[in-house]
Every structure is written in C-alpha cells, then in structure tokens.
Structure 1
Amino acid sequence: MNEISRRTALLGAALLALTACGGKEDKLAPVAAQRTMGITVFPAYGATDVKPDSIVTVTGTYGRLDDVQVFDSEGTVITGAFSDDRTAWVADRRLAPSEKYTVIVRATSERGAAVSQTSKFSTLEVTGKNAVGSTLISPPDGSTVGVAQPIVIAFNQPVINREAALAAFKVETSEPVEGGWYWIDSREVHWRPKEFWPSGVEVKVSESLVGMDLGDGRWGVSRRENSFTVGREQIIKVDVRKHRLQVVRNGKVIKTFSVSTGKPGWETRNGIKVIMEKVTNKKWTNTAIDAPESYTLYSSYAMRMTNSGEFIHDATWNGRIGSANTSHGCVGMRLSDMRWMFNNTIMGDPVVTTGSPRKFRELWNRYQDWNVDWDQWQTGNFDLSDG
C-alpha cells in the first residue's frame, strides 16, 4: 500500500468512526448547514395594479418569521397573524385602492442568522365613480337616541353589489338584539331591530368597505365606525280623529295635549314615524310644499317626522287646535305644549299616528322603516323592489 492509499484508508476509517459516534443527526448536519432561508412576499416586489381585495401573505422556509410590518404611504399599518410555527404570516384585512405599500420582514434562519427583506408594491388606481365610500353613519358618534332610531349608512355612489357589501357592515350591541339590514335605495342602507330598541342598550356600528369589489369595476374606499346609546323609552302617539297627542314613557302616559293635524287632501300619514330633526324659529311657506294658499308663518319649535315635510310644531295662528284638523299634514300644537315637547323629545323617538285615511307607504320618505313588515325587511331588498 502506497502512502496516498494508506492516508485515504485512514481518512475513511476516521470518517466512519465520527459517523458512528455522532449518530443519525450528525449525518444530516452537513446538509442542513448548507440550506439558506427563503422569504416569499405576496404581492411580489414591484407589482403594480394589484387588486385591492388581495391579501398580503409572507412565507418563510428553513427558518422562522420574527416580525412582519405592512404599511401604506401614510404609515397606516395593516396587521396580521403568524402561523403556529411562524413560517407564515397573513394580513387580517384587504388593501386600499390607489395606494403604495411597503412590507418589511425580519426572520431567523435555522443556523440562527438574522435575515431581513423589504418589498414594495402598489394597488390599482381607483377614482371617480369607481371609488365607493360611505358619507355618513347615523346616528352620530356618542349620541343618545330614542328607541325607534334606525342605523343609516349613506354612500357617495350607487352600490352595485349590495348583497356582497353587507359583509363589510357590523352591528355590535351590549345585549342581544335581533335586527337586519334593508336597502332603501342604491345609496342608502338601514339597520333596525325587529322591535323597538331596548332602553339603555349600547351600540357600535362599523363599515369596512376598503378594498371590497363592489361590482362593475367599482371598489370600496371607506372605513368608519360610530357608537351610540339608546335612551329612555318614549313613544309619541297621535290620534287624528281625537285631535290628541299623548306621550308614553316606559309604558305610562305622562302627558296629553290637544293637536290639529292634516286637513282633507293633506292628511297626516298613518303609521310609525321617527323624530329626525329638531329646529327652532322655523319658517313655513306655501311654496315649500306647493300649497294653493299663500302664506308665510313661523314656529318657535319644530320636530321633523318625514323628508316630505311632516313636523310637530307650535301653530300659534291656528285657533282650532283640539277641535279640527286644518294643517297641510303637520301636527300643530299650542306654544307652551310644544315647548315641553321640544325639551323632552330626542332624535329617534317614535311617533305612532292612528285614525288617518292616508297610509305612510313611501320608502324614500325617511324613516319609513317601521312600516315595512318584518318578513319583508329580512329579505334585505337587494333588488330594490320596494325602493
């Protein structure tokens, strides 16, 4: 055996001895040491026109993810969650249209080495009629409302995919309340309970349309939330035939007033209405409602019940309050009585009118919600067959 052969044999014996002592794990160690950690980010680096409903994901191989940061051009952060073994991270919400995003990943390889990667991409530009967002959530944040107040979300553009949009709306209550959404028209959706709200319930309503595909090339661009509280239970009852208004609080009549409602041809609508607005020093003119008589009158206090112009207000010019119906659809009261009503009524209080031959039918005449049968309300009115 020459020297080279002898040394080769000795090296082989030494390696065999090391393998025998090291066991199975050491046999794999040289292979593992050669593996390099890989990080994959979706959407890919430099991607443009990314659809907003894409979800950012990060995966790592041959190591573990330590930290993932995703933020837009204004620094707004998108949060997410890691898998149990920290080899994957998934964002918990959609992207915004017309935005640029940065993704920063920090990780540790199998060998304990620090690994980092930065990625950037941009989303689809969405402008004009294709950008759909809410313009308001009502009632206002922090308000206290009556038991008939519906939740209202209004939009800047018609919502084409109305059924899908409902997935972006959420109503949370401090106690269980059965209720549902109903489209009034393509730009406004309401949520109401099956019955009047329970007194004292706390409500949080939110919408998260950002990045939602709303059909016909339109994308959601808004995110907002409001919280409100339902106040004491108070129901205003108007009896057209008896020329009487009663205030019922917590099931007991606490006040009874004489009133004058709409005359023939201008009858006050029957049904359940909701106090929408309270104003002082209200001016009334015949031109505002196309009445044939010419007049300009003033009320110190007025509370709106419909978009079409039904109010409860003081009518100092009316000498037949309590004995005849002479108005153009409003509920007229004496000044002192109306002052009490104004000071003891809040937005969202229901007004239940009975005894009139004219029904409250018009869905557009906010808020007609409580006059829609509950079975019908539960359909959602996605095709706006009643709108």
Structure 2
Amino acid sequence: MALRRRQLLLGFAGASGLALAGCGDQRASTPPVPAKIRFDPVAGPQPAPARAPGTVTVTDGTLSSVEWIDETGRPLPGAPAPDHKSWVSAEPLGYGHTYTVKAVAKGETGDITATANYTTPRPDRIVDVALRSASQEDLAENDTYGVGFVLVAHFTEAVDPAAAEAALKVETTPAVPGAWYWLDDRNAHWRPEFYYAPGSRITVTANHFGVPLGDGAYGRRDQRVSVTIGAAHVAIADDNTKMIDVFDNGTLVRSMPTSMGKGGSAVIGGRQLSFWTRPGIYTVLDRTDPVIMDSASYGLPTNTSLGYRTTIHHAVRISHDGIYVHELAGSMWAQGNTNVSHGCLNISPDDATWFFDFVIPGDVVEVRNTGGEPLDIWQNGDWSIPWPEWQQGRAHT
C-alpha cells in the first residue's frame, strides 16, 4: 500500500510537471499598435480661437514632422518636445487666418499621416486698451503712486463692459477688495474701498487678445503691468479754517494757509461757470513748473474782467478741469482768511515749493466744507463716490 501511494504521488507530480511545461510553450502574441495623432484646437465648422496655440500630440508613437501653414504659405513656428510626443506652436493662431496642418508620426505599424484645416475669427474691429493712472498717463512697470491711486482702463473703441471686464484681473498685495466702475463703454476705473496701505503692490492683467468684446470687436493684445504704492501722503484743505494740513503716514508735517474758490457763478458765452472749489476727495494728477494758466481753456475768455492768462510756478494739478494747488504771492494777504481764487487752492511760494517736492501722483487732497456741487468723477472724483454706489457701477458679468 505504501508503495502504491508513493507511485500515485509521483504520478501527480509528473502530470503537474507536464502541464506546467505545456503552459510555458503557449506564448501570447500582441498585435502592433498604430500611432494616433491629435490636433488642438479640435478642427470643426466653427472658427478656432485666435489666442490658442497650435498643438499636435501623438500616442503610441513619436512625431516625425509637423507642417502648420497659413494661407500665405508661412509656417507657424513651433518645436517638438524632447520626447517627440508633442509639438506646440511658438505663437497663437492669430486673427483672420486659414491654416492647413499635416503631421506624420511613426508607430509600431509604421508611419501614419493626419491632416486638418482651420479658420480663425476675422474681426470687424480690433480694440486696444490702455492701462493708465487717473492722470491718463500709461502705467510703466514699477512706477510708484500715492495711496489714492486709481487704475484706468481706456479702450480705443466701444466694448461690451461685461466681456471686457471678464478679461481684466487686478491683484493687490496685501489683498484688498476692489471693483471696476464703468464711466461709459470705453472707460473703466478700478479702486478699493479704502486708500491703499503704503508699500502695496498692484498688478493688472488684461488678457484681451482673441477675446470677443461685443459687436464684432476683438481684443488686440495681452498686457500685464505692476506698480507700487509709496508713503501715505494726505492733504486736508478745510474751508472752515482755510488751511491745508499735510500728513505723512498719519503725522502732521505742515500746515499751509490757503485761499480757495471765491464761490458764485457767471454765465459766459451761454455757459454757466462755477467759481467754487468743489468739495470732495481729489488725487494728485501731475506737477508742472511752470504752467501757463489760461482761463479760456475752460470757457472764460481772457479779455473779460474775470479772465486771465499767467505763468504759475510749482503747480500741482488735482482735477481734469484745471484745479491746482499752486503758489500765488499776490493772494498771500487772503490766504488763511478769505477765498479769492477762481477755484484753485492758492498758497505761498514757500509752501508751494515744499508741496510740489513732497507729493507724487496718486497722493490724496481732501477738500472739505466748501460750497458748490460735490466733485464729480469726470473731474477726478473717483474717491468721492460712496463705496456702495461705486460697486453698482461695475459691469455685471
């Protein structure tokens, strides 16, 4: 019995060994896989987005060649990845082109070829945007502005505000909430609820290239620029005291007697002119030394009893309709006690020289307790608009 059992066990072992040997001889064969080519954007009946790069991707193979040619025969520049699994154009597709694309890839089954055809949008209008400060000067990288800096986006033609705003991005460090206020369909202003903290950095990005902006218009280009905020310079001009108190980071550094607008109005040439210094929050727009002040520039002829044309030194402009903080030795008798100007803030030559050297664009000048209508946004009154009202002026995206 013991012998028989041993023989059975040996028999199973032998059968098992034969079975294993038989399995080892049955080798599976995998069929070769052809390469596959993909184009992006995906070709179709609709125009391809102009701002997209051309991309070719291959799976189960490597790219041998790519030709992406426009209607003039010009090849779209580009380069393959080091592994030759993809190719990306070095520039976006652009406006108003017809492209013919051909790619060859090598796979296990040999070479394959794929082709595609594209058109891109042909705009009725191409619209640019200028990124500026409140002075209407274009921003330059790393410019420095005061804590009342207002960002301006000026479009060369009318746009759909919602579409244009969606492609505008403002980043602040430290982060503060802010909003765009659209004056019309070509001009938008951005500011936070409160003045910036000194040392803040503001970066604005306008990604408008290839973006439809309404009524057949498309954006011309993408832009990005960053500026910084300097010290907190705030000047408070109070008509009750007829003084301008100037603060540097919250510390009073100078008090200057002033004479502001004498008030009242006159109808000249059928136009009513006001001689108030409007109350509100102004910002410094620019500084000029000297400046020629001509009353005819705002509708008051120089040959009338109220008209003037004179050269003024150390003039700091704070409104788009010609309000300055400037020296005027001839009104020093009135400075601190009587308003005699046409609307400007007169100060002594010494104070004007100091103030001219102290301020930069974006510094704040608050005018309080004067008569006349409140400062309007078109005059440089962005900060005079209450925050809830400012938020209502934004495009609804």
Query: Residue in 2 aligned with 1:312?
Result: 325
CA distances 1:324-354 after superposition (whole Å, capped 9, x unpaired): 1111111111111100000000100011110
Determine the C-alpha separation between the residues in 1 that align with 2:388 and 2:324.
29
Change over 3 Å in CA distance of 1:207–1:108 after alignment to 2: farther
Deviation at 1:103, TM superposition (A): 6.8
Deviation at 1:143, TM superposition (A): 0.9
Contact 1:48 1:124 in 2 (8 A): no
Query: Residue in 2 aligned with 1:193?
Result: 192
State the SS of the aligned residue for 2:282: strand
State the SS of the aligned residue for 1:181: strand
Equivalent of 1:334 in 329, 341, 348: 348
Contact 1:95 1:210 in 2 (8 A): no
Contact 1:137 1:225 in 2 (8 A): no
Equivalent of 1:344 in 343, 358, 368: 358
Query: Residue in 2 aligned with 1:124?
Result: 121
**Between 234-243 and 169-178, the greater mean CA deviation after superposition:** 169-178
Count of residue pairs brought into register by the alignment: 353
Determine the C-alpha separation between the residues in 1 that align with 2:311 and 2:201.
38
Query: Residue in 2 aligned with 1:21?
Result: 25
Contact 1:96 1:221 in 2 (8 A): no
Determine the C-alpha separation between the residues in 2 that align with 1:67 and 1:227.
41
Contact 1:235 1:249 in 2 (8 A): yes
Determine the C-alpha separation between the residues in 2 that align with 1:61 and 1:168.
34
State whether structure 2 residue 273 is matched by structure 1 residue 275: no
State whether structure 2 residue 333 is matched by structure 1 residue 299: no
Determine the C-alpha separation between the residues in 2 that align with 1:143 and 1:353.
26
Contact 2:165 2:395 in 1 (8 A): no
Determine the C-alpha separation between the residues in 1 that align with 2:76 and 2:338.
62
Contact 2:147 2:231 in 1 (8 A): yes
State the SS of the aligned residue for 2:329: coil
After superposition, residues 197-346 of structure 1 pair within 5 angstroms as 197-265=196-264, 266-291=275-300, 293-318=306-331, 319-346=333-360
State whether structure 2 residue 369 is matched by structure 1 residue 355: yes
Determine the C-alpha separation between the residues in 1 that align with 2:23 and 2:289.
94
Change over 3 Å in CA distance of 1:186–1:92 after alignment to 2: farther
Determine the C-alpha separation between the residues in 1 that align with 2:278 and 2:228.
29
Change over 3 Å in CA distance of 1:63–1:101 after alignment to 2: same
RMSD, matched Cα: 4.0
Deviation at 1:231, TM superposition (A): 0.3
AA aligned opposite 1:145: Y
Contact 2:77 2:91 in 1 (8 A): no
State the SS of the aligned residue for 2:256: strand
Query: Residue in 2 aligned with 1:10?
Result: none
TM-score, normalisation: structure 2: 0.75
AA aligned opposite 1:344: F
Deviation at 1:178, TM superposition (A): 1.8
State the SS of the aligned residue for 1:269: coil
**Between 353-362 and 250-259, the greater mean CA deviation after superposition:** 353-362
In structure 2, stretches of 5+ residues that fail to align are 1-20, 134-138, 265-274
After superposition, residues 174-185 of structure 1 pair within 5 angstroms as 174-185=173-184
Determine the C-alpha separation between the residues in 2 that align with 1:349 and 1:180.
20
State whether structure 2 residue 134 is matched by structure 1 residue 97: no
**Between 328-337 and 286-295, the greater mean CA deviation after superposition:** 286-295
Determine the C-alpha separation between the residues in 2 that align with 1:205 and 1:132.
18
State whether structure 2 residue 135 is matched by structure 1 residue 136: no
Deviation at 1:187, TM superposition (A): 1.2
Deviation at 1:361, TM superposition (A): 4.2
Deviation at 1:242, TM superposition (A): 1.5
Determine the C-alpha separation between the residues in 2 that align with 1:301 and 1:99.
54
AA aligned opposite 2:367: T
Change over 3 Å in CA distance of 1:294–1:150 after alignment to 2: closer
Q: What is the aligned-residue identity percentage?
A: 28
CA distances 1:33-76 after superposition (whole Å, capped 9, x unpaired): 5x34334453549x996553667564545446799998999999
Query: Residue in 1 aligned with 2:382?
Result: 369
AA aligned opposite 1:21: D
Change over 3 Å in CA distance of 1:108–1:238 after alignment to 2: farther
Query: Residue in 2 aligned with 1:153?
Result: 153
Query: Residue in 1 aligned with 2:12?
Result: none
After superposition, residues 62-73 of structure 1 pair within 5 angstroms as 62-63=60-61
CA distances 1:272-309 after superposition (whole Å, capped 9, x unpaired): 11111111111112212223513222211111111111
Query: Residue in 1 aligned with 2:10?
Result: none
* Bigger Rg, which one: 2
Contact 2:64 2:104 in 1 (8 A): yes
TM-score, normalisation: structure 1: 0.77
Change over 3 Å in CA distance of 1:133–1:77 after alignment to 2: farther
Deviation at 1:199, TM superposition (A): 0.4
State the SS of the aligned residue for 1:97: coil
